[in-house]
Amino acid sequence: MNANIAARPLPEQSFRVDSLHVQVYSTRALMGRAAARDVAAKIRELIAGRSELAMIFAAAPSQNEFLAELSTLDGIPWQRITAFHMDEYVGLSSEHPQSFGSFLRERIFGRVPFGTVHYLNGDAPDPAAECERYASLLRAMPPDIVCLGIGENGHIAFNDPDVADFDDPLLVKLVDLDERSRVQQVHDGCFPTLEQVPKQALTLTIPALTMAPWMFCVVPGPTKTAAVKATLLGPITEECPATVLRMHPGATLYLDRAAAEAK
């Protein structure tokens, strides 16, 4: 086996909270490397007996180390994988430099030869029609693996607490962004000022994400500590959307030490 496939960091801590498997690493780099190698191993396992699979990716700086590592690993049949992304700003096309489509194209979609990449078009003239178009693609190719993060307010994708619905009848929907989500985009360096952050987005809903049998959630950094604490120790509720991970039998949460230290 190639050395870059075999090597995998061991966590400092590993435990379960309800159904959620949690692993803590000393650094962001080790966290990202471990998550990438676990995702790669799961891809190889799943695709061994089938012709194709589908994956959903998050677009956020928290995913940088994970995506950088995943894009370099050998033995992944990318040509047999269909890729989706989980949200997009309204008013930004997938070609816009600050769009999530552009983020993922730079870090993973343009680096490995996916069979198909489906972009969510935030600049579509009819957002409702675009939501249904993307939902139809998800219904035709249900996700096997979701690679996600957690927002500072506990969101997953752009399911902020005021719009999150564990039983949402939709797969993709238009949402107004909570101010804390918009402020996070400034904290992350994605926009220079709050005024420049779009106020609406198209997002995959919580059922669209959790229908995947395998979820790999990568959450580094001290700005995420409160959200991690709420996710692991609080009640399972839409007030902290990420708590839904505790009900998912195939979910793993990867943390660095900074994110794991409750303040």
The model's pLDDT over 56-80, given as tens digits with 9 standing for 90+, comes to 999 999 999 999 999 999 999 999 9
Q: Is residue 237 part of a domain?
A: no
The strand pair at 20-25 and 13-17 is best described as: antiparallel
Q: Is residue 10 included in any domain, yes or no?
A: no
pLDDT band at 251 (very low <50, low <70, confident <90, very high): very high
**Domain boundaries, position 248:** 24-147+154-220+242-260
Q: Is 138 inside a domain boundary?
A: yes
CA end-to-end span of the chain, whole Å?
42
Over residues 101-126, mean pLDDT:
96
pTM for the structure as a whole: 0.94
Asked if pLDDT for residue 4 goes beyond 70, the answer is no
Domain assignment of residue 29, yes or no: yes
Residue 55 lies in a domain: yes
- Averaged over 137-163, what is the pLDDT? 97
Predicted confidence (pLDDT) per residue in 204-215, tens digit: 999 999 999 999
Structural domain count, the chain: 1
Is a pLDDT exceeding 70 seen at residue 125? yes
Does residue 36 lie in a domain region? yes
Q: Flag whether 11 is in a domain.
A: no
Q: Residue 173 is part of a domain; what is its CATH number?
A: 3.40.50.1360
Q: Do 125 and 194 contact (CB within 8 A), yes or no?
A: no
The answer for residues whose C-beta is within 8 angstroms of residue 217's C-beta and 6 or more apart is: 148, 149, 150, 156, 242, 245, 251, 252, 253, 254
Is a pLDDT exceeding 60 seen at residue 5? no
The CA-atom distances, in angstroms, between 87 and each of 44, 80, 160, 187, 230 are 26, 23, 12, 19, 23
pLDDT of residue 28: 97
Q: Which residues pair with 200 in a beta bridge?
A: 176
Report the C-alpha gap between 203 and 177 in whole angstroms. 10
Contact 223, 186 (CB under 8 A): no
In a domain, 225, yes or no: no
Percentage of the chain beyond pLDDT 90 is 83
